[in-house]
Amino acid sequence: MGLFNKKKLTDDTANTLPSITLHDLVCEKLDIFCWCNRCNHNNVIKTTHIIERLGANYPVPEIGRNLRCGKCNNTHDISTRPNWPSHGGQIARHMD
């Protein structure tokens, strides 16, 4: 089972990030922040707009596959994440 453990470790790493779905964003009243890794163009997309096309159970990190950069027409390298209201540059916050 040695090999299995090694594979398991890799899988666990991949699953460390919680797969946030569009449904979660609706609950949190968050929109989607998307970022083109080629030209650094970025934009915020309304969650309600995307949910009509992809469905409520669609994972947020996968949304980039369905997007095209409006600036350089890149379709392969777009990152997406919830548009957290982090004006102070705060990346993580503790929930008490």
For residue 72, state whether it binds Zn ion (rule: CB under 5 A): yes
Q: Which of 34, 36, 51, 63 binds Zn ion (CB under 5 A)?
A: 36
Residue 12 in tokens: 């666990």
Minimum CB distance to Zn ion, residue 71 (Å): 5
Decide: is 71 part of the binding site for Zn ion (CB under 5 A).
yes
- Residues in 2-21 that interact with Zn ion by CB under 5 A: none
| Alpha carbon distance 11, 7 (integer Å) | 6
Q: Is 42 in the site for Zn ion (CB under 5 A)?
A: no
CA–CA separation, 15 and 12 (whole Å):
5
Q: Which residue has the tokens 């379709």?
A: 75
**Bridge partners, 80 (sequence order):** 34
User: Is the CB of 6 or the CB of 68 nearer to Zn ion?
Assistant: 68
Element (H, E) at 23: helix 22-28
**Contacts with Zn ion, residue ranges (CB under 5 A):** 36, 38-39, 41, 69, 71-72, 74
